[in-house]
Amino acid sequence: MDLLTAILLGIVEGVTEFLPVSSTGHLILAGTLLGVQNQGTATFDIVIQLGAILAVIVLYWRRFWGVAVGLFAAERRSIAFVRNVVLGFLPAMAIGFVVYKAVKALLEKPTVVAVALIVGGVAILAIERMAKRARVESVETMPATTALGIGFMQCLAMIPGVSRSGATIMGALTLGVDRQAAAEFSFFLAIPTMLAASGYDLLKSGATLAQGEWLAIAVGFVVSFIVAMLVIRWFMAVITRHGFAPFAWYRIIVGVVALIALQIR
């Protein structure tokens, strides 16, 4: 993978990581169109997501600092915040460990991504219409059972094209969490989830990566961090005003175009 391709894929990752459109799916489709599908590409797709995750840490550092201080003071809200993030993370950790090889194999199948984009888009439109009235307005006030339920929803995103943020946000909406709290919980849940996924993948595949592949990962990481910093605030403004329907229609259009493009390649 040359550095220009790494930059382009880093931009794709930074733009799509926190949108309910599947960053991994976009990376797979983009990599296929750019002709860079190889043994190291799946690891690249997984690890550069940490750049986008770092953007969350930087943008919400005051929130995290407040939680850390609150933990030392045994504040109930801070304890609930940490409890909910941990509960949301546990299903992905347990299930991901078991299905790691199967998920890694799916990263090489762009047709799966295209179909999942379409199905996910339809699901988002349906959930927007049928979602329960919001009862939970913050991560700190979220019941433990709700956090755990969202965690199981996140596991659907192990199928490339489903979207981790889409699965967690839509799952949260169906469980009575309001839009802003659902999006923020998705952001925060991404931190342990992607740290674990990237760490495990590097443990399995890191020794086989060439020096050039490490450089590509580093470039993609930096680019995705910068772009995600810009996208997160924009995303919060969009969902507050327009909801998730624009992203659902985008998914459906991209999925259909991708299926057609894959058939005529």
Tens-place pLDDT, residues 227-245: 999 999 889 888 878 888 8
Of 6, 134, 40, 136, which Cα lies nearest the Cα of 81?
A: 136
| The pLDDT value given to residue 106 | 64
User: What is the three-state SS of 199-226?
Assistant: HHHHHHHHHHCCHHHHHHHHHHHHHHHH
If one counts every other C-beta atom within 10 angstroms of the C-beta of residue 61, the result is 10
- Give 122-151 pLDDT, tens digit per residue: 999 999 888 777 889 999 999 999 999 999
Q: How many CA atoms lie within 13 A of 49 on its CB side?
A: 32
What b-and-e string marks burial along 95-134, b requiring 16 or more CB atoms within 10 Å of the CB?
bbeeeeeebeebbbebebbbbbbbbbbebbbebeeebeeb
| Alpha carbons within 13 A on the beta-carbon side of 193 | 29
Rounded Cα distance, 43 and 64, in Å: 28
Spatial separation of the C-alpha atoms in residues 67 and 63, rounded to whole Å:
6
Cα–Cα distances in angstroms (integers) from residue 177 to residues 32, 64, 100, 133, in the given order = 36, 21, 30, 8
pLDDT digits 0-9 by tens, 77-136: 999 999 999 999 999 888 877 776 777 666 667 888 888 899 999 999 999 888 777 889
Summarize the confidence of residues 243-257 as an average pLDDT: 92
Of all residues in the chain, what percent carry a pLDDT higher than 70? 90
Contacts of residue 229, Cβ cutoff 8 Å, sequence gap at least 6: 55, 58, 59
- Residue 203 or 183, more confident: 183
